[in-house]
């Protein structure tokens, strides 16, 4: 071998070593990126399934609220409104999550999971809209009922303000909760697309 061939072989060997080092660094970076993506996905999936996991607590709170209404001597329409609200929203939550499972998000087919998540978002928006309509109907019913009662104007205003504040506060909480859940759903869909690419 002449000197030129030796130099070429040395350069090729150096290039192989550089390539192996780059490949190793790339693989490590890819593993780190995948771990970061999985951690972010777990957080978003946890946020997304929080409503479904909190159903037993929600049912318990509804039962306590109805019992408190009867114990405190509230008029019949207040506990009835709570019961109707619970009977519509709790099955509504199960309807929203129909066909969506945590395992499918992590391990399922990317296209069908993305489609299921988009359907979930549509159903969730319908449920939240229904909840808002129920609250407005409750406020209207409460207003008509209080104006027909034989109570002082001052007491009527106090009750009306309390009901309005509770409804507005609940709607604000529902809005921010829905916004977080839908953004978590969007983030999951985006990560699934990145995973597919």
Residue 37 exposure: Cα atoms within 13 Å on the Cβ side = 16
Q: What digits encode the pLDDT tens for the residues 54-98?
A: 888 888 888 888 888 778 777 777 788 888 888 888 888 889 888
Closest CA to 187 of 45, 49, 51: 45
Q: What digits encode the pLDDT tens for the residues 103-129?
A: 777 776 777 778 888 888 899 889 888
Q: What is the pLDDT of residue 36?
A: 64
Closest CA to 92 of 145, 55, 45, 42: 55
Q: How deeply is 17 buried, as exposed, middle or buried, from its count of CB atoms within 10 A (0-12, 13-18, 19+)?
A: exposed
Closest CA to 163 of 146, 177, 151, 185: 146
Residue located via tokens 């009835």: 80
Beta strands in the chain (DSSP E): none
Q: Are 96 and 124 in contact (CB under 8 A)?
A: yes
> Which pTM value belongs to this model?
0.67
Q: What is the largest CA-CA distance in the chain?
A: 113
């Amino acid at each position: 071998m002449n000197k030129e061939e030796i130099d070429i072989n040395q350069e090729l060997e150096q290039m192989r070593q550089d390539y192996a080092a780059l490949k190793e660094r790339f693989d490590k970076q890819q593993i780190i990126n995948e771990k970061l993506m999985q951690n972010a996905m777990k957080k978003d999936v946890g946020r997304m399934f929080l409503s479904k996991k909190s159903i037993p607590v929600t049912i318990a709170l509804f039962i306590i609220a109805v019992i408190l209404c009867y114990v405190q001597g509230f008029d019949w329409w207040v506990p009835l409104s709570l019961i109707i609200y619970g009977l519509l929203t709790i099955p509504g939550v199960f309807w929203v999550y129909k066909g969506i499972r945590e395992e499918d998000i992590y391990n399922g087919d990317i296209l069908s999971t993305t489609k299921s998540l988009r359907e979930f978002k549509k159903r969730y928006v319908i449920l939240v809209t229904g909840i808002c309509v129920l609250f407005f109907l409750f406020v209207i019913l409460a207003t008509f009922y209080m104006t027909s009662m034989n109570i002082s104007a001052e007491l009527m205003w106090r009750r009306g303000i309390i009901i309005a504040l509770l409804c507005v506060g609940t709607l604000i909480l529902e809005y921010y909760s829905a916004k977080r859940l839908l953004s978590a759903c969007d983030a999951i869909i985006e990560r699934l697309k990145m995973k597919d690419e």
